[in-house]
Amino acid sequence: MKEIQLELEGLNCANCAAKIEKLSNEIPGVESVNLDFVSKKFKINLDDENKAKEITGEIKDIVQKLEPHVKVIDKEEAYNHQHDHSHHHGKVDKTQVVKLIIGGLLFVAPFLLKLEGYTRLSVYGLAYGIVGYEVIIIAIKNVMAGMAFDENFLMTLATIGAIAIGEYPEAVAVMLFYQVGEMFQGIAVNHSRNSISSLLDIRPDSANLLKDNEIIAINPKKVHVGDTIIVRPGEKIPLDGKVIEGESLLDTSNITGESVPRKVEVGEMVFSGVVNIHGLLKIEVQKEFGESTVSKILDLVENASSKKAPTENFITRFARYYTPIVVFIALGILLLPPLFLGEDIRQWAYRASIFLVISCPCALVISVPLGFFGGIGGASKSGILVKGGNYLEALNDADTFVFDKTGTVTKGVFKVTEVIPYGDHTEEEILEIGAYGESFSNHPIGKSIQEAYGKDVNKEYIKSYKEIPGKGIEVVLSEENIYLGNKSLLEDKDITVKEADSIGTVVYIGKENTHIGTIIVSDELKDGVAEDMKRLRSLGIKKLVMLSGDNESTAKKVGQLIGLDEVYGDLLPQDKVAKLEEIMEKSQGKTIFVGDGVNDAPVLTRADIGISMGALGSDAAIEASDIVIMTDEIGKIAMGIKIGRNTKKIVVQNIVLALGLKTIVLILGAMGLATMWEAVFADVGVSIIAILNSIRALKVEV
């Protein structure tokens, strides 16, 4: 299946976006479409990739007919357009301003000059034509396209109704103030978009390519794996790579939200989007631009608004039925009182026109997606990548958190914390025997014993080596049989085991038929993890559970230390999925699984929401989960919940504000207590207030 990706520059009307999406979806050869109003990204899936050029042309024609000022940009042009034309975003159309000024002057002229008769009618007619021409033409086109119920149709119908009953000033005023409101609404939408864009401004403008001892500034997309780039102090690193010369401190706050600089030296990996603070770095590129960390993060955040939250989907459906219903109510207001009660039709026509002006659901349709996108942007700046508004909203309903152990609540770094010798043996001897026994092992526990020994191992002394699955290792060392592993391994050899009661993985060591020592290998808890669990409880989380592949006794000791409700150990990946499903059945709200994103993919996928401890540059984590914590900190989960709740609160405020004020003015209009002026405010004024309120979702409270 072929996918076309376009960008609709200048698209500031959510209803217009819905119209373009609907008509594009009806083009033969189009499988599905997704037009994201917030990011202006338009994705079209085709049945036949050979029709791509033809269908793109048809879509451009649709956009041109419905929204002539909107520019359709192909994906290939989007990067350059974003950088070369970003200063045009949010600028006001000067021609539109001139038209509104002329229309405004003509509107007040009859009052100031006290014009009467045909002269007065002509001036109002000219003013109406200047400010309303575009609205009327678009309304006619939409009606012909079978999409009548939009703001252009409503304003045209309302103003024609006002003209029909002789309310010429009101007709011009509605069209004039509607156009002014639309202009300010466009400015407000662009302002909120730019607030989010500037917050996520981590994409580098250029890369300094070192070629033939010359430095050339080029588009990062043209740099390839193996090329060498130079990053000067104060510049953003444009692509993921390895430092081959120089050392510096890096400001990673763009990606992780952490203010503490990170030191890098020769041989270390660095990631795109972070800022080089003071040293000159020479970097060998390891990933193409499209695969670099900065591109993956931005694509993830920009595409997040295409995964709509339930509230957003409800409002979209609600708006689809709300406008036609109000139009038919307006028709009833126009016809029923004059027909059945003998009332003056002019009076009820005026009230019906007020109804039509108010009915446009722009405030709802625009502000809800902007609110969720603002929350996603604020979370991203804090090092929390949320893949969709649906996941951000779902955090509001979380009541059970299930954690993996290694790499999630612990650091995933194994260290020898205790060596217990028996008989005449010393700690040094036990550690040496352990290092020799584990010398062929790639397991983190074996490696930690080798690191603790810290000396070279002469493998000539090892006569044979055998791994026993699920139990340990059996070696012949200098003609002596050595056993390293769990209790059952030594018991199989008829060796009496002296059990150790310690937190960590216990490696029992036997020689011939005697237990000669024990090595305790512990995985250190992450800093402040117990406090992080308390913070989750304070946010109303009812149950905290841990699933671990480690032995049950070790897992339960860790669970006690950090204050968990339930702990399950000795679990294989498939066991974790089964146990998670049991927990989900008992949970009254959403069940969230938190893992390291690499080994826990099946469980992350099965949970209502999968949160992975991503770590900077971890591709596996970004792919596996719904939310990624870029700093591996459990504490960021509580912050994510707060962001989700704050975003939902703002979205609900917008819905209540828009529906509340519209309902009040609708009732007042039907009773004859509201004029066109209040109706215009209830439409465009409320939209602007709701849009500006949505920007508050960007603010993140720690």
Report how far residue 416's alpha carbon sits from residue 451's, in angstroms, rounded to the nearest whole number: 9
CB atoms near residue 324 (< 10 Å): 12
Residue 310: its pLDDT value, please? Answer: 82
CB atoms near residue 329 (< 10 Å): 16
Instruction: Look at the chain and count its residues.
Output: 702
CB atoms near residue 204 (< 10 Å): 22
Residue 87: its pLDDT value, please? Answer: 39
Angle at 696 (CA atoms; ends 305, 319), nearest 5 degrees: 50
The active-site residue, picked from 404, 532, 550, 626, is: 404
Residue 644: its pLDDT value, please? Answer: 94
Report how far residue 221's alpha carbon sits from residue 212's, in angstroms, rounded to the nearest whole number: 20
Report yes or no: 302 and 41 within 8 Å, Cβ to Cβ.
yes
What is the DSSP secondary structure assignment for residue 290, as one 8-state letter?
G
Report how far residue 44's alpha carbon sits from residue 21's, in angstroms, rounded to the nearest whole number: 9
What is the Cα 569 distance to its own chain's centre? 33
Strand positions, DSSP E, 367-493? 384-386, 398-404, 410-421, 462-468, 472-477, 480-485
Residue 86: its pLDDT value, please? Answer: 42
Instruction: Pick out the chain residues at pLDDT < 50.
Output: 78-79, 81-90, 617
CA end-to-end span of the chain, whole Å?
44
Report how far residue 261's alpha carbon sits from residue 278's, in angstroms, rounded to the nearest whole number: 11
What is the Cα 109 distance to its own chain's centre? 51
- Which of 299, 298, 305, 392 has its CA nearest to residue 36? 305
Residue 385: its pLDDT value, please? Answer: 85
Give the bridge partners for 482, in sequence order.
475, 511
Residue 621: its pLDDT value, please? Answer: 58
pLDDT digits (tens, 9 = 90+) for 630-646: 888 899 999 999 999 99
> Which uninterrupted H or E stretch holds 230?
strand 228-231
What is the DSSP secondary structure assignment for residue 236, as one 8-state letter?
B
Burial call 593-617: b when 16+ CB within 10 Å, e when fewer: bbbbbbbbbbbbebbbbbbbbbbbb
- Which of 638, 645, 534 has its CA nearest to residue 592? 638
**Strand 214-218, strand 207-211: pairing:** antiparallel
Instruction: Report if pTM > 0.85.
Output: no
Residue 282: its pLDDT value, please? Answer: 95
Report how far residue 351's alpha carbon sits from residue 464's, in angstroms, rounded to the nearest whole number: 96
Residue 89: its pLDDT value, please? Answer: 43
Q: Domains for the chain: give ranges and CATH numbers.
A: 2-88 (3.30.70.100), 94-197+305-371+646-698 (no CATH), 411-524 (3.40.1110.10)
Tell me, yes or no, if 404 is annotated catalytic.
yes
Give the bridge partners for 243, in sequence order.
283
The 3-state DSSP class for residue 177 equals helix
- Which of 660, 665, 656 has its CA nearest to residue 693? 656
